[in-house]
Amino acid sequence: MPLAGWVTLLATALIVGVTAVALLRVILHLRHVNFTLGTVVVGVRSIAFQTKAVPPAVSSVNANLKPVRTMAEGV
């Protein structure tokens, strides 16, 4: 094989190698972003769960305090 063929193969191998390394870096960055977004979503859902609307909580509290209210009215 002539020298030009070897140089072409070497150049192609270098280009493919650099491209593979760059794609691996992109994959690692995307995995980190995916993990971070998952963590953010879990945090937002946790905050949404802990700060639920007031009307359901008020009706629950009123239901729990009904025996106390009836006893206080009887006194």
Q: Mean pLDDT by 10-residue block, N- to C-terminus, for the chain (75 residues)?
A: 94 98 98 97 92 76 82 81
pLDDT for residue 51:
82
| Confidence (pLDDT) at 49 | 87
Residues written for the chain: 75
Instruction: Please name which of 52, 70, 48 lies closest in space to residue 60, comparing C-alpha atoms.
Output: 52
pLDDT given for residue 70 in this prediction? 83
Q: Which tokens hold the place of 64?
A: 């729990």
Whether pTM exceeds 0.75: no
Range of the domain at 18: 3-74
| Total of domains in the chain | 1
Going 34 to 39 to 44 to 49, the CA torsion angle's sign is positive
pLDDT (0 to 100) of residue 10: 97
Q: What is the pLDDT of residue 21?
A: 98
